[in-house]
Amino acid sequence: MKALLSQAPGGPETLELTERPDPIPAAGQVVVAVKACAINYPDVLIIEDRYQFKPPRPFAPGGEIAGTIESVGEGVTGWSVGDRVIGMIGHGGLVEKVAVDPARLYALPQGRSFAEGASLILTYGTTIHALLDRGHLKEGQSLLILGAAGGVGLAAIELGKAFGARVVAAVSSDEKAAAATAAGADETIVYGRAPFDKDQSKALAEQFKAAGGKGGFDVIYDPVGGDYAEPALRSIGWEGRYLVVGFPAGIPKLPLNLTLLKSCDVCGVFWGAFAARDPQANAAHMDHLFRLWEQGRIAPRVTETFPLDRGGDAIAKMAARGAIGKLVVEVG
């Protein structure tokens, strides 16, 4: 089988398309013939050894897959050869075939494409955990989303609206603002490109405050970090919740006096650890997401696809923060 492998730490240009033996399912495993693999920001980090987990090399990046079950190992029940599945596997998805623990898999509904299915779990799983478990978002509250045209950003817009919030989407271009509006945002803010000097930071804070109104935002969803974080925090409301999701713009240093003045919470969001520690709660969230998907209230937006030999280009585009919606590598 073909596999796009990281042989040494480095950027997307270091990935190598190689031939590897086909996997054989061990007891309790299934082998999935991968049809599509979504690209996410952890794929940028993991090949540079900057992610929380450092798998032994060589390994394939790509944690979110869709495909069909090709073979079933001893002791596996509930799955059959030919079943269409989606799964979150952490890494190893940019291959033609992969052995998987079936507990990581979900049935791909009929009528849904592999590319769309591969784009569901990470972005929406992270976001539903963030908004409900960490942000305690309630109907009628206000939600500010940074980086709102990316995969998790668009998921946050859709879920915010599904949960009855007023959603303000902050993005870096008019094109991205249009995508956020199409996803259901009530208002958009177009900000400049960091780094910001003191005056630019203050001006951005004023933009956020104007959009948040007198009471400020109840919840702020931040998958961006960097120089955008402090201006956003300055727009939070009394006892608001600031959700720390990711840092493609850099790890910010927040002035903690702001948290005292607003009596607000800064909440970390680590969906992978949550799912491992509380699988029942995560399964309930996934059931909720599948219902919303069936009702048409959420829909992963695949905006560009790449063949396997150009998987590095997809990761490079993600690293450059040029993606709107989801980038997907079509494998099979």
What pLDDT is recorded for position 5?
A: 98
- The candidate with the shortest Cα–Cα distance to 143, out of 158, 129, 133, is 158
Per residue in 178-210, pLDDT tens? Answer: 999 999 999 999 999 899 999 999 999 999 999
Tell me how far apart the alpha carbons of residues 146 and 62 are, in angstroms, rounded to a whole number: 24
User: Quick check: 73 pLDDT over 80?
Assistant: yes
What is the DSSP secondary structure assignment for residue 55, as one 8-state letter?
P
Reported as a pLDDT band with limits 50, 70 and 90, residue 215 is very high
Question: Which domains, ranges and CATH numbers included, belong to the chain?
Answer: 2-120+300-330 (3.90.180.10), 122-272 (3.40.50.720)
CA angle 63, 153, 145 (to 5 degrees): 140
What pLDDT is recorded for position 150?
A: 93
Residue 330, C-beta contacts closer than 8 angstroms, at least 6 positions apart: 35, 36, 114, 115, 305, 306, 307, 308
User: Quick check: 265 pLDDT over 90?
Assistant: yes
Tell me how far apart the alpha carbons of residues 332 and 67 are, in angstroms, rounded to a whole number: 8
User: Quick check: 2 pLDDT over 80?
Assistant: yes
Percent of the chain with pLDDT over 90: 96
What pLDDT is recorded for position 105?
A: 97
What pLDDT is recorded for position 332?
A: 77
Per residue in 129-163, pLDDT tens? Answer: 999 999 999 999 999 999 999 999 999 999 999 99
Find the mean pLDDT for residues 96-115. 96
User: Quick check: 44 pLDDT over 80?
Assistant: yes
Burial of 27 from C-beta contacts in 10 A (0-12 / 13-18 / 19+) = exposed
What pLDDT is recorded for position 179?
A: 97
Tell me how far apart the alpha carbons of residues 69 and 50 are, in angstroms, rounded to a whole number: 32
Tell me how far apart the alpha carbons of residues 252 and 267 are, in angstroms, rounded to a whole number: 14
Find the mean pLDDT for residues 261-290. 96
